[in-house]
Homo-oligomer: A and B are copies of this chain.
Amino acid sequence: MPNRKAVQAITLSVVKTACSNCNLHELCLPLGLSHEEVEKLDELVSARRRLKRGEHLYRAGETFGAIYAVRSGFFKTDVLLEDGREQVTGFQMTGELLGLDGISTETHSCNAVALEDSEVCAIPFSHLEGLSREIHTLQHHFHKVMSREIVRDHGVMMLLGTMRAEERLAAFLLNLSQRFTARGYSPAEFYLRMTREEIGSYLGLKLETVSRAFSRFQEEGLIAVQQKHVRILDIGKLKRLMSHHTRD
Q: Which residues of A contact B (CB under 8 A)?
A: 79, 81-87, 89, 100-105, 109-110, 129, 132-133, 136, 139-140, 143-151, 153-158, 160-162, 201-204, 243-245, 248
Q: How far is the CA of A67 from the CA of B128 in the complex (A)?
A: 23
Q: Closest B-chain residue to A201, C-beta based?
A: B161
Q: How far is the CA of A85 from the CA of B133 in the complex (A)?
A: 41
Do B158 and A156 touch (CB < 8 A)?
no
Q: Closest B-chain residue to A244, C-beta based?
A: B83
Do B84 and A204 touch (CB < 8 A)?
no
Contacts beyond the supplied A87-B158, A102-B147: 10 A-B pairs with Cβ under 8 Å:
A81-B243, A84-B248, A104-B148, A104-B150, A105-B148, A132-B133, A146-B147, A149-B150, A153-B157, A162-B204
21 A-B pairs whose Cβ atoms sit less than 8 Å apart in the complex: A82-B243, A83-B244, A85-B162, A85-B245, A87-B157, A87-B158, A89-B154, A89-B157, A100-B147, A101-B151, A103-B143, A103-B146, A104-B145, A110-B154, A129-B136, A129-B140, A132-B133, A133-B133, A150-B150, A161-B202, A161-B204
Main secondary structure of the interface of A (DSSP, over half): helix
Q: Closest B-chain residue to A154, C-beta based?
A: B89
Return chain B residues, CB-CB under 8 Å to A149. Answer: 150
The distance from the CB of A82 to the nearest CB of chain B, in whole angstroms, is 6
Return chain B residues, CB-CB under 8 Å to A104. Answer: 144-145, 147-148, 150-151
